[in-house]
Amino acid sequence: MESSKNIFVWPYKGIGLVEKSKLKPFLKRNNFNGLIHLFLHFLLILFSGILIYLTSNSYFYYFFIILHGAFIAFLYAGMHECIHKTPFRNRLLNEFVGYMIGFILFRSFLNARYRHMAHHTYTQHPEKDPDRVKFPKSYFEYLKHITSLTIWIRIIDNLFRHTLGIINNSEKEYVPSSQRNSLILESRLIIIGYFIIFSLSVYFQTLFFLIYWFIPRILGEPFLRLFRMAEHTGKDESPDMIENTRTSFPSKIVKFLYWNMPYHTEHHIYANVPFHKLPAFHNTLKSKLSPMEPTIFQVHIQILKQIWINKKLENKKNILNI
């Protein structure tokens, strides 16, 4: 599934699949759709939190902690939309929600913005795409990514390193020099916020934040990884957005939780289309996209099968070279 080491020219300039006159209606933003979606997402988090409280003396307690964590982790989709400045027409509202979700997820909104912009500019570039997930060489590598251990190491490293004012060479490639002090300030404010929450927890001797936020947040990340991995893993390392990005079709509840990001090819072709217009936009582009419409489950089955095939080919090659 992973392409050969051909040299391509990035960034990809686009393919003009939709005429500008037909594209224009899909680019209109408003505050209503984003606010309603955000409200309903937080309502789900509140509901799962209540279920944790009500089942604290049963085995369902552990199930609802994981479910609660998945709901929290998928807030990333809302932050992702704020990165593109598309969920709300009001600019300040976009920024406020983006920073707020970043704080909830233990992630810098500014770092995520510029890292993600580099991902869109150099999608699947072997060296310049900071979000590129290398195709797993083994089932161990696959599990290592899904379990999110390496992701958490990166998140924690970023947060503390930026708090100390350290920007690494990779980040200097995509974070503008004019924004680095702002990134450092944001990280320091985040750490101060966490310290205040920790201090309050100790003072009031409460496990509230641990049970309803910290632990679920960690447990929920693997569910987000399953969907994020399906977006590009195994697709071509080329500048062709139809070939380097995958649209998948999960259930309606997952589309809601992921703010329609399973329509990922459509999003990469025209990133300025707001999340709530992606289903209709998909219908406009459908005839020009790949006829393959896999579910998330089918995508991961394909990845696992390809790992097996690649291992067999590698073993055969090693035998022939003996």
Most confident of 33-37, 143-147, 248-252: 33-37
Is residue 161 a contact partner of residue 168, using CB atoms and an 8 Å limit?
A: yes
- pLDDT number for residue 5: 45
Instruction: Assess whether pLDDT exceeds 90 at residue 226.
Output: yes
Answer yes or no: is pLDDT of 7 > 60. Answer: no
Write down the pLDDT at residue 277.
Answer: 96
- Identify whether the C-beta of residue 94 lies closer than 8 Å to the C-beta of residue 82: yes
Q: Are 10 and 128 in contact (CB under 8 A)?
A: yes
Mean pLDDT over residues 212-221, rounded? 97
* pLDDT band for position 8 (cuts 50, 70, 90): low
Share of the chain above pLDDT 70, in %: 93
The pLDDT-based confidence of 229 (bands split at 50, 70, 90) is very high
d(CA 139, CA 307): 7
The residue behind tokens 């224009």 is: 24
Query: What residues does each domain of the chain span?
Result: 30-320
Specify the pTM: 0.92
Three-state secondary structure readout of 67-101: HHHHHHHCCHHHHHHHHCCCCCCCHHHHHHHHHHH
Q: CA–CA separation, 61 vs 66, rounded Å?
A: 9
More confident residue, 188 or 248: 188
- Please compute the mean of the pLDDT values over residues 68-78 and round it to a whole number: 98
pLDDT, residue 2, reads 42
Q: What is the pLDDT of residue 250?
A: 78
> Cβ neighbours of residue 99 under 8 Å, at least 6 residues apart?
109, 186
Distance from C-alpha of 265 to C-alpha of 268, rounded to nearest angstrom: 5
* C-alpha to C-alpha distance for 107 and 157, rounded to whole angstroms: 11
Lowest mean pLDDT across 196-200, 230-234, 316-320 = 316-320
* Whether residue 11 has a cis bond before it, omega within 30° of 0: yes
pLDDT at residue 318 greater than cutoff 90: no
pLDDT confidence tier of residue 112, bands split at 50, 70 and 90: very high
- pLDDT number for residue 322: 60
- CB-CB contact of 98 with 82 (8 Å): yes
Cα separations in angstroms, 183 against 111, 118, 255: 7, 16, 31
Query: In this model, does residue 55 exceed pLDDT 90?
Result: yes
Query: Burial level of 252, CB count in 10 A (0-12/13-18/19+)?
Result: exposed
- At residue 317, the pLDDT reads 72
DSSP structure class, residue 274: -
Alpha helices by DSSP H, listed for the chain, are: 20-23, 32-54, 60-73, 76-83, 91-104, 109-121, 139-146, 149-163, 169-172, 180-203, 208-209, 215-232, 241-244, 252-257, 264-269, 278-285, 296-320
pLDDT greater at residue 304 or residue 289: 304
Which residue type does 248 have?
S
* 71 contacts 220 by C-beta, under 8 angstroms: yes
Is the pLDDT at 213 greater than 90? The verdict is: yes
Highest mean pLDDT among 3-17, 91-105, 275-289: 91-105
Residues in the chain: 322
**Does 285 have pLDDT greater than 90?**
no
- CA distances in angstroms from 225 to 25, 124, 233, 296, listed in the order given: 32, 17, 11, 11
